[in-house]
Homo-oligomer: A and B are copies of this chain.
Amino acid sequence: MRTFPAGQLHDLGVELFVACGAPDAEAEAVAAHLVEASLMGIDSHGVVRYIWYVEQCLAGRIHPGARVQVLRDGGHVALVDCAMNFGQIGAGFMVDLVRERARDGGIAFATSRHCHHVGRLGAYPQALAEAGLFGFAVANSQRHGHFVVPWGGREGRLATNPLAWAAPTAGRPMLLDMSTSMTPEGKVRTALHAGQQLPEGQILDADGLPTTDPGAFYGNGDGPPEGAILPFGGELGYRGFGLGLLVEVLGASIAGVPLGAAEPAVAGDVPYINGFSLLAIAPGAVTGDGDRFAMLTEELRAYVTSSPVAPGHEEVILPGEREFRTLDQRQNDGIPLPPETCRLINTVAEKLGVRANL
């Protein structure tokens, strides 16, 4: 696998998105987001998305440059129209909004309509933590992504519905970014193409029976899934189901969007990809001491990581630490891209008259 300097991939992303019609600053923001995800090792949400994003622009499903705006402003709660611009633009607007309002009044919550793919969910609470705030985010997906069964069920009713939170420390933030299902669909397809079995306890076949065979998930072909993914938690999967529902309720129902419903309740409602919501709390407004929060989370970090390591493990690290280390390493060594990803990026670039040279 060849590796590429982050700067080269960033510049290419900017060129692609500008060619799609994005204003310079927005193209920069989207490319920076995707390159950072690749740097952190979250390749599924990284530079590989250049392909789909360009295709979505060409198909008129992403509206580069569309005006993101507050639809309804409650002061500390806001409903934001992300206008089917790149999801990163809508979500970035919401980061700025809740950051400023939480600094003013201690807390702010924003939720979205018409939001495209927000990419790496953890990026948004991370940005809040880097500003000294506590951040929490959820993102559900529209119905076509409902591969995850409710606890006890055998038909998908939720998407992989990630949640993420972050808090500042003396160093890099604590950062949890997790799906509420056992696995993303992407990993099932990867296993299928690689001819590999999945670990036990992740998927059901078309009859609702446990299987480790990705082919059984796809109805023994390569078509649309006929099986389903289990909620996070194994024998305690009702908890993961409850967390997935939390993401659905907080990412969609609260914004007035009938995402989980069998049919849209609002006639003529336009499509979306992620129902994204974001909460910010300013700890300084709670205690009156703006520095105390990061001091305490740093003490917590030291205390938690002071646990001796259990047999079979290598170290005790905070959520997010592994990704930040990968970021440091890939900033030096470059971002690896599989040949097929390079080929597909070259192909979509060509459609835009851009020479990608990957």
Chain A contacts to B: CB under 8 angstroms: 72, 74-79, 105-109, 111, 134, 149-158, 165, 167, 174, 176, 178, 182, 199, 201, 204, 207-209, 232-236, 238-239, 241-243, 245-246, 248-250, 252-258, 260-262, 265, 279, 281-283, 285-289, 292-293, 295-297, 299-300, 303-311, 313-319
Given contacts A108-B107, A208-B308, contact A299 B167 (CB under 8 A): no
Q: Which of B154, B249, B296 contacts A310 (CB 8 A)?
A: B154
Is A286 touching B255 in the complex (CB atoms < 8 A)? yes
Closest to A296 in B: B253
Closest to A235 in B: B199
Is A182 touching B317 in the complex (CB atoms < 8 A)? no
Q: A167-B253, A178-B242, A233-B234 are in contact. List 13 more A-B contacts (CB 8 A).
A: A151-B313, A153-B309, A155-B308, A157-B306, A157-B307, A165-B246, A174-B249, A176-B243, A201-B234, A245-B304, A254-B287, A254-B293, A261-B296
A-B contact pairs, 7 of them (CB 8 A): A76-B106, A79-B287, A107-B109, A158-B304, A201-B234, A245-B319, A253-B300
Given contacts A72-B288, A105-B74, A208-B308, contact A246 B176 (CB under 8 A): yes
Closest to A79 in B: B286
Is B75 touching A106 in the complex (CB atoms < 8 A)? yes
Is B152 touching A303 in the complex (CB atoms < 8 A)? no
Give the residues in chain B near A297, CB-CB below 8 Å: 249, 253
Closest to A285 in B: B74
Is B245 touching A176 in the complex (CB atoms < 8 A)? yes
Give the residues in chain B near A255, CB-CB below 8 Å: 286-287
Give the residues in chain B near A319, CB-CB below 8 Å: 238, 241-242, 245
Give the residues in chain B near A106, CB-CB below 8 Å: 74-77, 109
Q: Which of B108, B253, B285, B305 contacts A150 (CB 8 A)?
A: B305
Is A105 touching B134 in the complex (CB atoms < 8 A)? no
Give the residues in chain B near A285, CB-CB below 8 Å: 74, 77
Is B150 touching A299 in the complex (CB atoms < 8 A)? no
Given contacts A154-B308, A300-B261, A307-B150, contact A236 B246 (CB under 8 A): no
Is B303 touching A281 in the complex (CB atoms < 8 A)? no
Most chain B beta carbons < 10 A, residue from A165, A241, A249, A295: A249
Is B313 touching A152 in the complex (CB atoms < 8 A)? yes
Is B287 touching A208 in the complex (CB atoms < 8 A)? no
